[in-house]
Amino acid sequence: MDTTVELTPDLRRLFSHAYVLGGSPCSGKSTVAARLVARYGLQAYKVDDYQEAHMAHCTSEQPTMFRYASMSWDDIWMQPVAQQVDDEFAFYRERFTFILQDLAQMDPARPTLLEGAALLPALMRQCGVDPARVLYMVPTASFQRHHYRQRPWIHGILAQCDDPAHAFANWMDRDHQFGQEVLRQARACGFPTMVVDGARSLAATTACVASMFGLATGGFCQS
């Protein structure tokens, strides 16, 4: 089910010159976003920074978020992967209300870089973001799995599961399937995409994205 987005004049102004880095986890988008913000003095909004606040304020009006707020990690990762993927899209559509509330507190006159998996293509299309300032980054399955294992906090989550190996496998399958669907939706909306396989360094990727967004010259890359 699509979400209908209603914007105030200030939010329309903010989105009219916003830059968007969306996609799926472990694609390097957070690091690239941080480097672009530091280099070009952009106002920044990182969706992950507001996770706890959004979960604390969800109610039965956000049924998927509300259900997940009371689930254990074992409950989450032992669900069928297809259900997890559907829930992830529903979760992000519900969460967008809170994202808009956050953005309403920001300076609409400043160029802003928005970063996060919750910035779904259909939502960004409704917000009127310039496709030349949007990029969806998605890792290959092998790149995602390799780099997820290096994140220290993941082991604390898996330790709470009865079958950590099965939970991790489901988690990786969910994120991979989510990423593939995001690629499909982004392309259908006319937004650029980038598949990350590790062949390009973070520095080169950052230069590439800066060039794509018109922030800098050079850094040619192919999606």
Give mean pLDDT, residues 207-221: 81
In which order are the strands placed within the sheet that holds 134-139? 43-46, 112-115, 19-23, 134-139, 193-196
pLDDT tens-digit map of 1-32:
567 899 999 999 999 999 999 999 999 999 99
Q: Look at residue 3 in the predicted model and tell me its pLDDT.
A: 79
Gap between the Cα atoms of 79 and 159, Å rounded: 17
Judge whether residue 150 has pLDDT over 90. no
Indicate the SS3 state at residue 131: helix
Predicted pLDDT of residue 219: 46
Give me the phi and psi of 194, to 5 degrees please.
-140, 125
What is the overall mean pLDDT for the chain?
95
For 174-190, what is the mean pLDDT? Answer: 98
* Residue 116 pLDDT level (bands cut at 50, 70, 90): very high
Domains and CATH numbers, the chain: 9-212 (3.40.50.300)
Token readout for 144 is 């995602």
